[in-house]
Amino acid sequence: MTVNKDQIEAHGLTPDEYKKIKEYLGRDSNLLELGIFSAMWNEHCSYKSSKIHLKKLPTKNNIVIQGPGENAGVIDIGDDDAVVFKIESHNHPSFIEPYQGAATGVGGILRDVFTMGARPIALMNSIHFGSPKNHKTKNLLSGVVSGIGGYGNSVGIPTVGGETKFNDTYNENILVNAMAVGLANKNKIFYSKAKGLNKAVVYVGSKTGRDGIHGATMASAEFDDNSEEKKPTVQVGDPFTEKLLLEACLELMKDNSIISIQDMGAAGLTSSSIEMASKGKLGIELDLNKVPCRENNMTPYEMMLSESQERMLLILDDNKEKEAKKIFDKWDLDFVVIGKTTDTSRLILNFDNKKVADIPIAALADKAPLYERKFTLNKLKKEKVEINNLKKIKIEEALLKILSSPNHSNKNWITDQYDQSVMCDTIQKSGGDSAVVRIHNKEKAIAISVDSSALYCKADPKTGGKQIVAENWRNLISVGAKPLAITNCLNFGSPEKADVMGEFIDCINGIKEACEFLNFPVVSGNVSFYNETNSKSIHPTPVIGGVGIINDLKRITNIKTKENGNLILVVGKTIGHLGQSAFLYENFSMNNGPPPEINLLNEKNNGLAVLELIKKGIALSVHDISSGGMLVSLAEMSMSSGLGLKIYKPKKLKNFYEYFFGEDQGRYLIELSKNNLKNIEVLFKKNNVFYEIVAEVQNDTFEIEGLFSIKTKDLQICNNKWYDDFNAIN
């Protein structure tokens, strides 16, 4: 039976796209084939609006083993060790069904990592919600956090940090981005490329149900007032089965049985089989009667498009099925040969002894539509921000208002719901600049950070793109890590809108420029378009997940001040840029002006100089200066330790607001003993790095001489206040 116009539209395909489908098939499609094309040609799977621009990003250097194009990126960290990592979005499902949407986002990113042969060692996340005053926010926040914790805690992988942000732009379209990091032997990496003819195609893991059908298609469409009706398209996760699948796969990977392996993620059995065959330039034939189903009378359409979780597709070498099955039987998981590789270069599906689909693989993969969308670039305003009523607010009042705001308040009430210490290798948890996880039984560790800056990106997408890369770089350096590589999750509105596409292209260009200059390649990632409701787009929100290496566990730093009498100095010049600052946003409800400029040469020089100080043991604590400026960062250091700070008045800048709250980039705060002051002078002069002494550690009082004084414990109370008030709301 051929399809009609309404069915084509319901599958998110345009008339021109269906015309192409008919050309590739040489006939009209049936409903099953239409569903398969819909899944593979949607934005989420095909990257049809972003692929040509993503090619600009630097993806290679001497440590990159695998860049974009596989389940996850892989980098070499020496001693035959490799780090495998990726970040992905699960935005739409999490808005519709917060717990399961977030939970299955975690499950999916874990499978991307262990599919490559890595044991996951850490999870991170970047989650964005609407205004706390919005009636949906509290339930969405509660559900998402519970889902992240519920899945990660149950599967036994520590969630070691991330970020939680609030802004009106996410009122009707929250963002849930999950990142996973794993460790593997660099000589035992597994890939999805199929090889060889008549090789067994094996289904392993959970049974297939009707959950998640059209999940990928939903992720490629904007929301409307009826979006909550799409709950059947949200997958249901089972972390305990995920744990079994993880261990079974890693056990099988110890021998040479696996030719290729692919997670059944977005578009399920459809995408996994096609991706394997496409990469190997082979065909694949499946007998759908053999697919393990947990519901009665499932149709081929449902089986191929289901996004039921905790499933993998394997291609095994000859005569390996028997031994492989023993492993999966031991872990109480399904193991069924459902097909074979062929030389036809076609996807052939059989059901009830009939051929129910016959599609050229290339039509689903290499020949999927690619669009050069129209775009308009933002006309940037470079005007200086004028605030006539600065004198109406005191420095202390402005600081306390920022510290008690949703975006800057203490988030322990979130991170305490995550098991951050399971596996016993977490050295540094959330709350600092980066999480740090030890490589088990070795004297080195991995640093991980996740960052975004939607306000900067909205005001100037290119500068914002550069800034989030640079901030991630600084966060890794601040714990003593050498930055190695990044993964990105690019969250935008509809690519069919010229202004949104312009924001996307500009952000890409900014990320490219920063990554190239800092030798900080992009090895994996995800694009999430159509983040909008009723045609209202979110702010451009690219998220950067970075990984760095620490080769000496004795040289790990954090933000906690250490001892009375020590000096705090700022590395990098303070100009006093207030455009798009937290100071304006939290105190005056303003987001005016351009974001601060990014000087990549200064970023690199300052960062490498700070890293050298850490390696020499001179820097006792380090904190990068970002949102809120210097005073907020100083307060965070003080609150973290409970010690106070005596802060000096600026010698050059007359405007205290600009000096203390300006968000000039490329800056760090460093604690050191007075005895080491001469040592740093030599180092900084050699590297042409600017610094100035800004404070001294003292007992329990946080003060700026002559301006205000407050007990550190009162700062902590203020920093915890927002959640106490928010939690009291019914």
Residues serving a catalytic function are: 44, 90
- Amino acid occupying residue 628: G
The dihedrals phi and psi of 169, each to the nearest 5 degrees, come to -60, -20
Query: Cβ atoms within 10 A of the Cβ of 240, count?
Result: 12
Closest to 663 measured CA to CA, from 408, 282, 441: 408
Size of the chain, expressed as the number of residues it contains: 730
The dihedrals phi and psi of 183, each to the nearest 5 degrees, come to -115, 140
Distances (CA, A) of 338 to 350, 536, 629, 631: 10, 44, 58, 62
- Token pair, residue 34, equals 């239409």
Contacts with 227 (C-beta within 8 Å, 6 or more apart), sequence order: 92, 95, 96, 533
For the chain, the straight-line distance linking the first and the last C-alpha, in angstroms and rounded, comes to: 53
Alpha helices by DSSP H, listed for 404-449, are 412-415
Helix (H, G, I), strand (E, B) or coil at 661: helix
Q: How far is CA 53 from the centre of its chain?
A: 19
The dihedrals phi and psi of 593, each to the nearest 5 degrees, come to 75, 175
Compute the distance between CA of residue 313 and CA of residue 272 in angstroms, rounded to an integer.
Answer: 7
Compute the distance between CA of residue 320 and CA of residue 310 in angstroms, rounded to an integer.
Answer: 22
Helix (H) or strand (E) holding 506: helix 498-518
Distances (CA, A) of 529 to 40, 89, 497: 15, 10, 11
Compute the distance between CA of residue 730 and CA of residue 728 in angstroms, rounded to an integer.
Answer: 6
Distances (CA, A) of 541 to 173, 180, 224, 488, 508: 12, 19, 20, 10, 12
